[in-house]
Amino acid sequence: MQHLAVRAQALRAPALPTDPTPLPSPASLLTTANRCQRPATMVGNTPVLWITEPLTPAPASAHGRGFWAKLEGANPGGMKDRTALHMVARATARGELTPGAQIIESTSGTLGLGLALAGIEHRHPVTLVTDPGLEPLMRHMLAAYGARVEMVSEPHPAGGWQQARRDRVTELLADDPRAWCPDQYRNPDNQEAYEPLAMELVAQLGRVDALVCSVGTGGHSAGIAKVLRRYFPRLRLIGVDTVASTIFGQPAGHRLMRGLGSSIHPDNVDYPAFDEIHWVAPAEAVWACRTLAATHHASGGWSVGAVALVAGWLARTSDADVRIAAVFPDGPLRYFDTVYNDEYCREHGLFGIEPPNEPVTIAHPSAVVLDSWTRCTTVVDPKNRDGTGDPTVPQSHSDTDPDARHARPAPTDQAQRSHIAETAPEVGP
């Protein structure tokens, strides 16, 4: 009997601890703010994070300088989720994209994730044409999200992998008359897609004096700056490109970094909107990505590293009250086999290289062929060279740092063209 009594006692529910503070009622906690009825509503309203040392190493007198990073990696796929959803919505509204029609696009990644999301959301099959440079992880991710991934096998003799991909898209479109191609390089809806991001920055920061953006198709720099300047007309826009990219007048070369840079001249680049351009080398972006991850836990890929390097320098060299926003287009996931992989970085000569404290300044993008961090306040549209329509560009080095690192004279047009053909540049946004 005594034995049973002990068991009964053991089975009795334990007494609830008496908590003096009552919990708020479920009704008072109820909010629909983070409730997503559909996958597309997970896009947008990304956080901003304050970034300081060691990205903004400053003299003691300027201690505490920093910039606000807009963390677009918080979207399901990245910043291009916004573009993909908006371009699809606009094309549907115009009747260019009909129900169930195939979406076909050339992409090396982030837009592909966005289009896969848009395809799920709006029930369109999605075919993405890419090249062998696409990380295997990314290929698996795109396939897992339901996209058909098609790989071109040979670069175009003059336009490299980017042109080869675009040519394959043209063939696929010819095979399917109902199919639609967003063409992120030329589609103005790409720029327009960033209006909400700009409005989020206004709401989050109250004021933006300088905006730092990477440039691939040119969509987000153009779209965000256009809206921000309606609020803050004196906003400075700083564009960040990679070395060996043709966007701002450098000759094409082999590019390791994906996302930013191009071997073509995308129509979405709003040249007059930029106050200055920086070119960053892969090793410098790797250092910034890894430093960001280790010190701020928020990092990303090549474009994030390049943008962080430039925004850190800007924060350090600007007056203390200048409010800087920098767009981090994606998170680090996709880059663990490249940027964050020691073996890959050693193999490509990117390991453990610390960038200089500041960039070299040149007078004109045609002055030298760059292979390390450089800035220029003369912004050149290569389709129209110096903006006058005059293709003769000044070769002045007057503003060039006398010890310009690794700078070599720019090739003549003729040499430049054969250089483009030889190196068969590969990657783009």
Ligand X SMILES: Cc1ncc(COP(=O)(O)O)c(C=O)c1O
Q: Kindly list the residues in this chain that would bind ligand X in the complex (CB under 6 A).
A: 80, 109-111, 214-221, 259-260, 301, 303, 329-330, 429
Among the listed residues 308, 301, 299, the one whose alpha carbon sits nearest the alpha carbon of residue 278: 308
Rounded to the nearest whole angstrom, what is the least distance from the CB of residue 223 to ligand X in the complex? 8
What is the Cα–Cα distance from 277 to 267, expressed in whole angstroms? 17
Tell the smallest beta-carbon distance from residue 213 to ligand X (Å).
7
Least distance to ligand X, CB of residue 16, Å: 51
Q: Rounded to whole angstroms, how far apart are CA atoms 60 and 353? A: 25
**Residues with Cβ within 8 Å of residue 199, at least 6 apart in sequence:** 227
DSSP string, 364-402: -TTSEE--S-EEESS---TTSTTTTS--------TTS-T
CA distance linking residue 320 with residue 66, whole number of Å: 9
- CB-wise, 259 or 382, nearer to ligand X? 259
> 334 to each of 66, 147, 184, 390, how far by Cα in Å?
26, 17, 21, 42
Between 218 and 359, name the residue whose CB sits nearer to ligand X.
Answer: 218
Min dist. Cβ of residue 220 to ligand X (A) = 4
Q: Which is nearer to ligand X, 80 or 278 (CB)?
A: 80
Angle 48-53-55 (CA atoms, 0-180°, nearest 5)?
Answer: 75
Residues in the chain: 429
Token pair listed for 352: 């453990």
- Nearest CB to ligand X, comparing residues 219 and 365: 219
Partner residues linked to 362 by β-bridges: 376
SS3 175: helix
HSE at residue 114, side-chain half, CA atoms within 13 A, is 32
Angstrom CA distances, 413 to 35, 188, 374, stand at 56, 30, 22
How near is the Cβ of 372 to ligand X at its closest, in Å?
Answer: 20
The CB-of-305 to ligand X minimum distance in angstroms stands at 10
Distance CA 414, CA 305 (A): 34
Distance in angstroms (rounded) separating the CA atoms of residues 219 and 233 = 19
Smallest distance from ligand X to CB 110, Å: 3
Nearer to ligand X, 239 or 400 (CB): 239
Question: Looking at beta carbons only, is 184 or 400 nearer to ligand X?
Answer: 184
Which residue, 276 or 330, has its beta carbon nearer to ligand X?
Answer: 330
Cβ closest to ligand X, residue 249 vs residue 259:
259
3-state secondary structure of 198: helix
Q: 355 preceded by cis ω (within 30°)? A: no
Shortest separation between residue 401's beta carbon and ligand X, angstroms: 27
Report in angstroms how near the CB of residue 90 gets to ligand X at its nearest.
16
Pick between residue 108 and residue 400 the one whose CB is nearest to ligand X: 108
